[in-house]
Amino acid sequence: MAKVTFNEDRCKGCGLCVTACPKKIVQLSNRMNSKGYHPAEITNQEACIGCASCAIMCPDTVITVQMK
């Protein structure tokens, strides 16, 4: 079980985390952050296996992963 948090204002909506996630539970939201990007978000925290692939792929250190 893992908790994944997104520092939304650092996100540039590049989508690399979306591709990297093996469980396909990351997507770009419809919200807009202060920079005008659609920040990434996790769609299903329960299904997260804590592999941190999203965080590893992210160029902007948006993502924090905490194993519970």
Residues shown for the chain: 68
Question: In the bound complex, what is the minimum distance in angstroms from residue 51's beta carbon to other proteins?
Answer: 7
Q: Is 45 an interacting residue with respect to other proteins (CB under 8 A)?
A: no
Closest to other proteins by CB, 46 or 67: 67
Cβ atoms of 40 and 32 closer than 8 Å: no
Residue selected from 8, 29, 37, 39 as contacting other proteins according to rule CB under 8 A: 37
Binding-site ranges for other proteins (CB under 8 A) = 10, 12-16, 18-20, 37, 50-53, 55-61, 63-67
